[in-house]
Amino acid sequence: DEVVDDYTNKIDSSDDVSERKRLRSERKTPKEMVKQIYDWITRKQKYEKDFAIFGTRNSYSKTDQDATFMRMKDDYMQNGQLKAGYNVQVATEGQYTLAYGVFANPTDTKTLLPFLDQIEEQYFELPEHIVADAGYGSEQNYDDILTKRKRTPLITYNHYLNEQKKKYKNNPFQTSNWAYDEEKDSYTCPNEKQLTFRHNATRTDKTGFQRQFKMYECEDCTGCPLRALCTKAQEDTNRKLMVNEKWEQQKEYVRTQLSEEKTGAIYRQRKIDVEPVFGFLKANLGFTRFSVRGKSKVEHEIGLALMAVNIRKYTARV
């Protein structure tokens, strides 16, 4: 600014046309720099404001800053269009809603623990079994429910149903089907090569949760006739395998629980207990979208709607 002002004063005080022309030419570069800097400052202030609104999210709606853009099930254009919305969670018993929560996170996996915290703080003590579908299954959720809350998670995980199929169990290229030598700490691939332990690795997700992995590498993949079916890695590299022992133990625990008669029956009850509540909400009440903006108002609206569903259910039963 001082440089530009200095040039401006010199131009105003000079009567020489050629000198004024030269000064204007020299002033052009610092003037452009000043303009660019103010543009950066303005944008930085806007970005800081946006990030303050974002919080832990990756988007927000300008018309409702509490809402997050999500992929909805009613995708009429079939192009994965995003719409501003909320993630509604409900806890039910006998098709009655006992607790509910509204979250701006589109991922069910990351809403389970905050919802359980909300239930304990505002509603009731958690039951012995925490039942949810595969969208909620993760190492962090299992670890929290088992160690912190001392409850039993009856929550499936991705690929749980696939693992029950004969095609999956007979697939020699599924690493879960590879023979493991506990003494040598190695796996045997379909080509009878050994994948031996190399080193440990730690990965940290956005929430700060750390996962521990054991890294294995094949002794030699050169000229392997099954390479195209086994890995997509480059030709000059060996097949590598990441194993999360804690996650595998948790999955085995869940499989054991779901295979037992009592806990298996409790999990199967989920489909006819939770899903009808959303069905009644949409089909009977025609409640498919919120008519208000702001998380607080949305919580009130969905609360009234769920109360209406409970009353209709009670009336029909009586």
The pLDDT score that the predictor gives to residue 41 is 95
Residues 136, 148 within the same domain:
yes
CB 90 within 8 A of CB 309: no
Has residue 69 been placed in a domain? Answer: no
Ramachandran category for residue 183: left, alpha or beta (phi over 0 → left; psi -120 to 50 → alpha): alpha
The pLDDT score that the predictor gives to residue 303 is 96
Residues 221, 283 within the same domain:
no
Rounded (to 5) percent helix, strand, coil in the chain: 50, 20, 35
Has residue 71 been placed in a domain? Answer: no
Global pTM value: 0.82
pLDDT along the chain (318 residues), means of 10: 88 87 89 93 94 87 92 75 92 94 91 95 94 92 94 92 89 90 91 92 88 92 87 85 93 93 93 91 91 95 96 92
Buried b (16+ CB within 10 A) or exposed e, 44-66: eeeeeeeeeeeeeeeebeeebbb
* Total number of domains constituting the chain: 3
The pLDDT score that the predictor gives to residue 189 is 92
Torsion of CA 301, 305, 308, 313, to 10 degrees: -160
| Domain final residue pick, 244, 276, 305 | 244
Torsion 100-284-69-161 (CA) sign: positive
CB 38 within 8 A of CB 4: no
Residues 305, 186 within the same domain:
no
Beta strands 87-93 and 96-103: pairing type? antiparallel
To which residue do tokens 């332990």 refer?
Answer: 197
Has residue 77 been placed in a domain? Answer: no
Residues 193, 268 within the same domain:
no
The pLDDT score that the predictor gives to residue 72 is 83
Residues 97, 147 within the same domain:
yes
Residues 166, 150 within the same domain:
no
The pLDDT score that the predictor gives to residue 69 is 92
What is the domain extent for residue 193? 161-244
Residues 237, 165 within the same domain:
yes
Find the DSSP H helices in the chain: 2-13, 17-54, 112-122, 139-143, 160-163, 166-169, 227-230, 245-259, 261-273, 275-279, 295-317
Has residue 28 been placed in a domain? Answer: yes
Has residue 100 been placed in a domain? Answer: yes
Residues 146, 10 within the same domain:
no
Has residue 62 been placed in a domain? Answer: no
The pLDDT score that the predictor gives to residue 118 is 96
Rounded Cα distance, 114 and 25, in Å: 61
> Nearest-CA neighbor of 189 among 152, 221, 213, 167?
221
Residues 174, 311 within the same domain:
no
Q: Per residue in 123-174, pLDDT tens?
A: 999 999 999 998 899 999 999 999 999 999 999 998 888 888 999 989 999 9
Has residue 60 been placed in a domain? Answer: no
Length of the chain: 318
The pLDDT score that the predictor gives to residue 101 is 96
> Nearest-CA neighbor of 302 among 283, 315, 285?
285
Has residue 73 been placed in a domain? Answer: no
Radius of gyration of the chain measured on its C-alpha atoms: 30
Rounded Cα distance, 24 and 10, in Å: 10
> Nearest-CA neighbor of 66 among 292, 267, 317?
292
| Domain final residue pick, 222, 244, 266 | 244
